[in-house]
Amino acid sequence: EGASAGAPSPTLELASRSPSGGAAGPLLTPSQSLDGSRRSGYITIGYRGSYTIGRDAQADAKFRRVARITVCGKTSLAKEVFGDTLNESRDPDRPPERYTSRYYLKFNFLEQAFDKLSESGFHMVACSSTGTCAFASSTDQSEDKIWTSYTEYVFCRE
């Protein structure tokens, strides 16, 4: 606050100094502020799911596992929250201050992702889901129905 529009932020200035810290003070990561608190931001978690419902909408649906949990948001926040469980292979050289929608998690449990976000001070602020239905066989509509859905959860840390 109070800095001119053209001046670099104090956080980025400290992060660009030598790793030893020296007289300039400690090295800060792009997701930290000067007072040591974590920076605010948003992370979106998404996944595509599918399940099959038998003929006559029987009560027993066959659920399939979540294939991949995607992570969208600022690179530095995603790395802070998910650490080594974040797969960066689809966007390996993304700078910390940039945003990405190409990361995904190395595990397939939504609850595990939610726990990591909660432990890092994030809380859910929105979610959205969409679904479609297709018949397993295009010729016989009395066959099983295959439902697919895409769901996103938006988390915020203030």
> Is residue 110 classed as helix, strand or coil in its secondary structure?
helix
Q: Which residues contact 154 (CB under 8 A, 6 or more apart)?
A: 42, 43, 44, 124, 125, 126, 127
Using an 8 Å Cβ cutoff, are 115 and 86 in contact?
A: no
Whether residue 84 is predicted with pLDDT greater than 90 in this model: the reply is yes
Whether residue 34 is predicted with pLDDT greater than 60 in this model: the reply is no
Q: Residue 101's closest CA among 135, 78, 126?
A: 78
Using an 8 Å Cβ cutoff, are 43 and 71 in contact?
A: yes
Question: Residue 136 carries which side chain, given as an amino acid letter?
Answer: A
Q: Element (H or E) spanning 8, and its range?
A: none
Mean pLDDT of the chain: 77
Query: How sure is the predictor about 28, in pLDDT bands with cuts at 50, 70 and 90?
Result: very low
pTM score of the predicted model: 0.67
